[in-house]
Amino acid sequence: MIIRSASFIGSSVTLTQCPEPVKPEFAFIGRSNVGKSSLINLLTGYSKLAKTSGNPGKTRTINHFLINQEWFLVDLPGYGYAKVSAGMREKWVKSSEEYILKRENLVCLFVLLDSRHEPQKSDMAFMEFLGINRVPFARVFTKTDKISGTALEKIRRVHDTEMLKVWETLPTTFISSSVDGTGKEEILSFIEVTLKNYSFS
């Protein structure tokens, strides 16, 4: 897939504020500081499309970006640690969950996982939540430039083993790095193929 255009449409605090659900959407979510905004910028080719920060919790709203005038890329608030109040984190969780469960034009949710860490309870619980609610999702291991290929394979096996304790099969999985561009073509190809097979029911 070639990204010809990418534009910020708006930020929403609640589902009702989101754009009309008339175009397919691919959303991105993960623990705070997992590299979500950097991955979005890599995929679109616009280095400043999504705001990046060294401080966890930069994304605090549901952000819609219109891609090629055809579909929306959605940046969701991260979960897990962030230097904000418990009340604020709870608001993020509620707005994200409402979007994930009720957004009828959500085609796939990309769950980002930091490749440097073993399975985190919050990640495993979140993916189990998606499975229970039949939300289609894919895993994306981020920051793979920061570890060796051997370490990456090892950590992925650990993640797979942990998931298979609960799951019968593993979700579609991507390896990515916003530094060296790993995973960009694979993720965009997945979106392109998924769009071709997508139709509103």
What would the pLDDT profile of 137-185 be if each residue is shown by its tens digit? 999 999 999 999 999 999 999 999 999 999 999 999 999 999 999 999 9
- Distance (Å, rounded) from C-alpha 117 to C-alpha 80? 14
- pLDDT score recorded for residue 59: 54
How does residue 54 score in pLDDT terms, banded at 50, 70 and 90? Answer: very low
- Distance (Å, rounded) from C-alpha 181 to C-alpha 188? 12
- Would you say the C-alpha torsion 144, 146, 152, 156 has a positive or negative sign? negative
Average pLDDT over residues 46-57: 58
- Would you say the C-alpha torsion 43, 28, 107, 138 has a positive or negative sign? positive
CA–CA–CA angle 172, 99, 162 (5° rounding): 35
- pLDDT score recorded for residue 88: 47
- pLDDT score recorded for residue 66: 96
Domain range annotation of the chain: 6-196
Cβ contacts of residue 201 below 8 Å, gap of 6+? none
What would the pLDDT profile of 62-121 be if each residue is shown by its tens digit? 999 999 999 999 999 877 544 544 554 455 567 788 999 999 999 999 999 999 999 999
- pLDDT score recorded for residue 78: 73
CA–CA–CA angle 187, 91, 73 (5° rounding): 20
Token pair belonging to 51: 């705001």
- pTM for the model: 0.88
Residue 124 has pLDDT above 60, yes or no: yes
- The CATH code that applies to domain 6-196 is 3.40.50.300
Please report the DSSP string for 7-58 in residue order: EEEEEESSGGGSPPS-S-EEEEEEBTTSSHHHHHHHHHT-TTSS---SSS--
Which helix (H) or strand (E) covers residue 188, if one does? helix 184-196
What would the pLDDT profile of 21-47 be if each residue is shown by its tens digit? 999 999 999 987 898 989 999 999 877
Average pLDDT over residues 45-66: 69
* Total Cβ atoms within 10 A of residue 55: 10
